[in-house]
Amino acid sequence: MNCPYPYGAPAASDLDSLFNPRSIAIVGASANPTKMGHQYLRQLLHFGFEGKLYPVNRSGGAILGVPVCRSFQDIPGPVDYVISAIPADQLPQLIRDSETKGVKLLQLYTAHLGETEQGKGLEAEIIGMARRAGIRILGPNCMGIYYPERKITFRMGWPREAGDVGLISQSAGHTAEAVYRAARRGLRFSKVISFGNAADINEVELLRYLADDADTRIIAAYVEGLKAPRLFHRALETAAKKKPVVIMKGGRTDAGKRATLSHTGSLTGGDVLWHSMVRQCGAVAVSSIEDLVDITLAIHSFPQPGGVNVGCIGAGGGVSVSIADECESRGLAVPPLPGSIVNEIRKLLGKDSSLVKNPVDTSVIYPAGWTETEVKRIFQFMGEHPDFHLFLVDGGEWPLDSPETLHRFHESMAVFREVARGMAKPVAIVVRPGDATEEWRWKATLEAEQRCIEDGLTVYPSIQRAANALTRLVGYYQDKVAEG
């Protein structure tokens, strides 16, 4: 049998309606700010969830100004969605209570179920009960849903604006890391679903859901185990035909596999097989959250590149060498500047073009008397030239040495931004965080980065990561073309 549900198939249900609750009950709500039973309520209030909110706790009273129901039965209205932050042994009663209230979706922050030896029996029991009651389960051992359009979140610090990246993840920590990092780089999310042990709603169902979700243009995923490899394969293939899918699997190694077993009770397969399976499906396999963000960002932001040739700009000789090395060692090409560009430079700018190479080193050409306008023209010549398909621009950090020289950094970045804005090819801009311990330095790089993002540009924090993202971007489209 190839059923993706470990406890038998659920009745067909529409995840979209489950993720659009009119009311949410938080069972195990707490006045203690360090408890998730407090944080869920706080986060929903903070985002301004527009439906009804019902904290439930025997103590009664109010938490964060919201009246607390002493029991589930005391909830005055209907409840669509329940967040459970109570101990596992209280779940059977919660499911019975939920059934009488017509609950559609029960999200279990509650853990110590299928991921532990002792909890496996109880997990099977509660899933069976939920099936019979017509209730779908998210989790157990998961954080739930971040759905900015519906003002649902499980982190305070995430963006309120919605976007078009869909993310599903078996790990809440990885979800948090990915959303923070992606958000800083300008990505916004349609739906983010942390689904933990996947005892009911799982990777196959969620992949199908996001594949058909009109708000989702690209899918990022972190999975640990596959409930039904063949169905997953088919779901991934179908999804990847509709939109890009970037996917990371935990448990690549023996120790990693042992760790997935105690994290979400997942059994994972071999790493090499996994990578070829993902690629065969037309999706992109990655090995870290850093890569998940970097490569999702590249595929989300960039047009299809016409080839592997990278035009590079940086400030500094060593940096130019590193840019060239990082690109070519990964399979991209950093060709010499074509003669036609050299001629154009000579003709139009009337200057000796021998200092201008690929990578363009602005630390050589500015001191030789070239102006910003001329540097812009060189960059534009390269952008228009058919021999260049991708661009890697390094913002450098030399002028970040003192507040007095800082303006040179911003001026140089402004030149890069202006040209990159008008470019129809992928341009990866490197803004190195500079490892600042001084506040002005931290602020300067953050500001430079955020200006790029406001201009719709795409930033990477290091030359290596930019080169890696461009390489994977090219690979993604090469595979697509090869596949036909």
Within 205-224, the residues that bind its own copies by CB under 8 A are 222, 224
Residue selected from 106, 108, 176, 247 as contacting its own copies according to rule CB under 8 A:
176
When the beta carbons of 3 and 267 are compared against its own copies, the nearer one is: 267
* Smallest separation (angstroms) from its own copies to the CB of 315: 7
Task: Please choose, out of 5-13, 98-106, 205-213, 356-364, the segment that lies near its own copies by the rule CB under 8 A.
Answer: 356-364
* Smallest separation (angstroms) from its own copies to the CB of 86: 12
| Interface with its own copies, residue 8, by CB under 8 A | no
Residue selected from 73, 276, 402, 478 as contacting its own copies according to rule CB under 8 A:
402
* Smallest separation (angstroms) from its own copies to the CB of 438: 7
- In the shown chain, the binding pattern of residues 426 to 465 toward its own copies, with x for contact by CB under 8 A and - for none, equals ------xxxxxxxx-xx---x---x-----------x-x-
- In the shown chain, the binding pattern of residues 273 to 312 toward its own copies, with x for contact by CB under 8 A and - for none, equals --------------xxxx----------------------
CA distance 375 to 365: 8
Task: Please choose, out of 51-59, 125-133, 164-172, 384-392, the segment that lies near its own copies by the rule CB under 8 A.
Answer: 164-172
* Smallest separation (angstroms) from its own copies to the CB of 464: 6
Strand 360-361 relative to strand 427-430, pairing: unpaired
| Interface with its own copies, residue 45, by CB under 8 A | no
When the beta carbons of 123 and 177 are compared against its own copies, the nearer one is: 177
When the beta carbons of 100 and 287 are compared against its own copies, the nearer one is: 287
Task: Please choose, out of 9-17, 122-130, 322-330, 421-429, the segment that lies near its own copies by the rule CB under 8 A.
Answer: 322-330
* Smallest separation (angstroms) from its own copies to the CB of 156: 4
Q: Which of residues 239-268 bind its own copies (CB under 8 A)?
A: 250-256, 258-260, 262-264
When the beta carbons of 131 and 257 are compared against its own copies, the nearer one is: 257
Question: Do 284 and 476 contact (CB within 8 A), yes or no?
Answer: yes
Question: Do 23 and 52 contact (CB within 8 A), yes or no?
Answer: yes
Q: Which of residues 382-401 bind its own copies (CB under 8 A)?
A: 396-398, 400-401
When the beta carbons of 203 and 397 are compared against its own copies, the nearer one is: 397
CA distance 239 to 261: 27
* Smallest separation (angstroms) from its own copies to the CB of 24: 19
| Interface with its own copies, residue 478, by CB under 8 A | no
When the beta carbons of 71 and 287 are compared against its own copies, the nearer one is: 287
SS (H, E, C) the chain: CCCCCCCCCCCCCCHHHHCCCCEEEEECCCCCCCCHHHHHHHHHHHHCCCCEEEEECCCCCEECCEECECCHHHCCCCCCEEEECCCHHHHHHHHHHHHHHCCCEEEECCCCCCCCCCCHHHHHHHHHHHHHHCCEEECCCCCEEEEHHHCECCCCCCCCCEEEEEEEECCHHHHHHHHHHHHHCCCCEEEEEECCCCCCCCHHHHHHHHHHCCCCCEEEEEECCCCCHHHHHHHHHHHHHHCCEEEEECCCCHHHHHHHHHHHCCCCCCHHHHHHHHHHCCCEEECCHHHHHHHHHHHHHCCCCCCCEEEEEECCHHHHHHHHHHHHCCCCECCCCCHHHHHHHHHHHCCCHHHCCCCEEHHHHCCCCCCHHHHHHHHHHHHHCCCCCEEEEECCCHHHHCCCCHHHHHHHHHHHHHHHHCCCCCEEEECCCCCCCCHHHHHHHHHHHHHHHHCCCEEECCHHHHHHHHHHHHHHHHHHHHHC
Task: Please choose, out of 64-72, 209-217, 314-322, 370-378, the segment that lies near its own copies by the rule CB under 8 A.
Answer: 314-322
Q: Which of residues 84-143 bind its own copies (CB under 8 A)?
A: 111-112, 115-118, 141
When the beta carbons of 6 and 434 are compared against its own copies, the nearer one is: 434
| Interface with its own copies, residue 477, by CB under 8 A | no
* Smallest separation (angstroms) from its own copies to the CB of 154: 9
* Smallest separation (angstroms) from its own copies to the CB of 62: 18
| Interface with its own copies, residue 170, by CB under 8 A | yes
